[in-house]
Amino acid sequence: MFLTDVDMSFSDAFMDRCRSSAVKGRQVFFPIVFSRYNQSLLEPPDYLRSQGSKLDPKNIKYEIHQEVGYWRIFGHGNVCAYRSDLLKVGGFDGLERHSWGGEDIQLLDKFVATKRYKIVRSLEPSLEHLHHGKNCSGVSKESKQACEDTKYRSEASQRTYGAMYFKNKQL
């Protein structure tokens, strides 16, 4: 099984790695996804800026570098595992939650607690989290800070935030 959110994009090649990385009764795969920044805030690279160009949203999808997104190493929301293994650890509690976050860590903790499963993590360039706004209102007190951190981390790179700050700063 591959558990994921609806805001993910993936390829056939990733699905092959997903299938081969889960080993029944022994191993589960929690891939590390590339999370896209808000494309409307992206600055073109220097070589294009000098020509007055803007980033083409059709082409940016295929670029992977620190100005268009980041590796979401803290996220565990995507998992490849056998159904029988999910059931052995007590299943996924994501549908029972009424607030943002935490269900991925809960599932990871269940697998770790058994001491039976090897947890595999690797960067997956063809598994991408597509940018969307985050609303952290109504989020539980425990999840509020994590939601806010993810919200701002997912908008733009530090370089882009810095450029926006100095562009708008009155001197």
Burial state string for 66-77 with b = 16 or more CB within 10 A and e = fewer than 16: ebbbbebeebbb
- Write the pLDDT tens digit of every residue in 114-160: 999 999 999 998 899 888 888 888 888 878 888 888 888 888 888 87
The closest of 35, 33, 19 to 132, measured between CA atoms, is 35
Give the span between the Cα atoms of 60 and 36, in whole angstroms. 10
- Write the pLDDT tens digit of every residue in 40-49: 776 555 544 5
pLDDT band, residue 14 (cuts 50/70/90): very high
Report the mean per-residue pLDDT for the chain: 81
Contact yes or no for 131/38 (Cβ under 8 A) = yes
- Write the pLDDT tens digit of every residue in 60-89: 556 787 888 999 888 888 899 999 999 999
Give the span between the Cα atoms of 78 and 31, in whole angstroms. 6
Can you give 106-150 as a three-state secondary structure string? HHHHHHHHHCCCEEECCEEEEEEECCCCCCCCCCCHHHHHHHHHH
Contact yes or no for 103/97 (Cβ under 8 A) = yes
Give the span between the Cα atoms of 82 and 30, in whole angstroms. 13
Q: Read off the pLDDT of each residue in 91-104 and give the average, rounded to a whole number.
A: 66
